Structure formats: structure tokens, C-alpha cells
Amino acid sequence: MTFYYSLTHSPLGWILLATAHNQLCWLSLSDCASTIEQSFLQQFPHYTGKRQRLPTSYREALEDYFVNDRLQNLAISPQGTTWQKRVWHALTHIPWGQTWTYSELAHYLGSPRSVRAVASACAKNPIALFIPCHRVIAKSGALQGYRWGIEHKAWLLEHEKRSCSGG
């Protein structure tokens, strides 16, 4: 399979987006462009990756997120297990500017004893922002575990909260 990927800078740092068959399959965050690209290419050693210019639809989707405070529905195709995909789909139902706990997400999925499995699926989310695992927090209200760093999770939550309050 061939992936096409693009690097772009955002208010949050560097973003790498990757598509396959015209669907978003990877979106990661980093403070360093070379680190994010190297990490992505190591994640998929058996696939061909071709760097390209950021397609207009993805540029507009990122602008909508960072400037217009809304999240577009893009065609996404995350690679994972059936359970992970179920959790990732549920994450898209957490409203902008709100958070759920891992326990609340497990209850939403009809599997209240699967809190650890929910947390594990969140940690393996391959598409930041558009599968908003940053909206899941610990029962205590603490920010826990974010694949792209707690500081990015805090920034994203503050950005969404600020836009909801009009500030």
C-alpha cells in the first residue's frame, strides 16, 4: 500500500497527515518536523510513503479546527482492531469543548468494566484531532495519557473550551 503524507505547521506545532485511498489514516502531532516524519515512517516499515503537498481539503479542515473552531467530518480510515475502531468511533460523539472520563466512555460503549481496554484503545488512536481522544480524562479530572504528549492534550482542551466560552 502507498501512503501519501504531508507535514504542516500549526498553532500546536507540527502535524503529519497521511492518506491511503483518499482517506485520512494518520494524523500525529510533534514539536519537531523531522521527529514526526521519522516516527511515521518507522510505524509503517512495509509500506511506501510519498511526501506531497498538503491537499486543500485537509488544509481547510485544519484551518476550521484552529481558526474557525469546528471539526469537519473527513473520510477517515484508521487501522486497528474491531474493538479499537469501536472506541475510536465512540470518541467522535464527545461534543466539542466537553470531556468524558474513561469510565463514561466505557459505559457509553455498553461495557462498563472495560475501562482499561478503552484507555488502551485511546492510546493507540492513529488520528489526532479528528478522533478526539484528547477529550477523555481520568475520573479525578486529571489529564492522563496522550499519545502526542500531555502538553498537547492540555492545549487542545483549552482551545476547545475557550472557543465554547467565546473567549
User: Which residues are part of the catalytic machinery?
Assistant: 133
57 burial level (CB within 10 Å; 0-12, 13-18, 19+): middle
Asked whether the beta carbons of 126 and 3 are under 8 A apart, the reply is no
Q: How many angstroms from the chain centroid is the CA of residue 108? A: 19
Question: What is the C-alpha to C-alpha distance for residues 5 and 104, in angstroms, rounded to an integer?
Answer: 34
What is the SS3 assignment for 52-70? CCCCHHHHHHHHHHHCCCC
Question: What is the C-alpha to C-alpha distance for residues 120 and 123, in angstroms, rounded to an integer?
Answer: 5
